[in-house]
Structure 1
Amino acid sequence: MFGFSEEQISAFGLTFGVGGFMLYMVFIIGQLAWESKAGRFGTFVLFLGLGLGLVGFAAKFIIQWMISK
């Protein structure tokens, strides 16, 4: 499609598509903290607990990139 291979399209989707969903999830966590009136510590705990998976996914991507070089 448009001169791209299936591997290139899937890599683009994984990089930018999932990255966009990760940013949206950060927005959702912030909205959850705001609506629940969690306070500073509660907001920190929400971002720590729910955002840890996002950090793990990003770390996996960076580790794979470093190994492939």
Structure 2
Amino acid sequence: MFAIAASTVTNWGLYILLPIFIAFLFFIIWDLSKQSGAGRAGTFWMFLALGAGFIGFILKILLEMAFTRWFI
């Protein structure tokens, strides 16, 4: 009945759903820092430690787009 290509599902999941999930995880980190009373420095370190992987993922996507546009 519905024929959705696997590449379409992959692109939606990678470029739409995963960033929404990452934003939700940032909300969870913020909520953890508020509930634990971490203060400014503690909140900074929580975001730095737990959010480094997310920032790396976003940089990976940006680098892929740049390389496909300018080098290939």
Provide the alpha-carbon RMSD of the alignment.
1.5
- 1-structure distance, mates of 2:5, 2:65: 20
5+ residue gaps, structure 1, are: none
5+ residue gaps, structure 2, are: none
Paired residues for 1:1-69 under 5 Å: 4-69=4-69
How high is the sequence identity, in percent, across the aligned residues?
Answer: 35
Could you list the structure 1 runs, at least 4 aligned residues long, displaced by more than 2 angstroms after superposition.
Answer: 1-5
**Higher Rg of the two aligned structures:** 2
Q: Residue 52 of structure 1 aligns to which amino acid in structure 2?
A: A
TM-score scaled by length of structure 1: 0.90
Q: How many residues align?
A: 69
